[in-house]
Amino acid sequence: MKREQVINLVKIKLDELSQFEKSEPLIAESNNKDINPIESYINENLDKAIDDVKLILPLHVFSDDRILVDGLSTTTLAIDSDYVGTFDLSSDYLRLHTIMLKSWERPVNIALPMESIDYAQQLNKYTRGGTVKPVVVKRGNELALFSCSSEDTTDNEITIYKYIGVTPRGTGYIPDKLVEAVVLRCAGKIANIFNETGQKVTQFEEELKLLISTL
């Protein structure tokens, strides 16, 4: 769906708040004291709302090639003496979708944070999942793959690597599958900007949770 159409849907959703019920465009003072129409606030927050949604929706929603990035050709895996593989993340990386090594028995779809208990287990070669139950951890600006079968790069060739990318600023296209969730998320952001933090904003959040549960 075109960006302008999504902005209009956010405006319609905001009409549910009493502050936005007027037919004329709402204006408000920004930090630099300029007067801006409501569309400018929606436009300014829309890309971040899209990224927020990309982080919380179930992975099966992301089947559109314009959402997924194939990082296979630009990724170089380094393997240390403990058979842990690492590679640097691209600047547009937002969330892991799928990664698979030739030696793994199954793909991995979640990159764990370093705070995870499972990460601590991977640091011990006797408790890590290995190639049967591989684990991926996001460590700063890199992904760490536990574990590789050996230092042989042929066995540890990355056969699949897809990730969800950061939304380009001012993107003109929002995938239809994301639109409803993006509208709710963006409407909540705008309502908070104008200090509408009461029941209706909570309603937007609850609607978003309900939508995610049905996907």
Q: Is the pLDDT of residue 100 over 70?
A: yes
pLDDT tens digit sequence for 178-214: 999 999 999 988 888 776 555 566 778 888 888 988 8
CA distance 166 to 147: 27
54, 178 in Cβ contact below 8 A? yes
For residue 184, what are the contacts with CB-CB under 8 A and spacing of at least 6? 13, 204, 205, 207, 208, 211
Report the C-alpha gap between 89 and 39 in whole angstroms: 34
| Three-state secondary structure call for residue 181 | helix
**Domain boundaries of the chain, sorted by first residue:** 3-62+173-214, 68-165
pTM, two decimal places:
0.85
pLDDT average, residue stretch 91-120: 95
| pLDDT, mean of residues 117-138 | 92
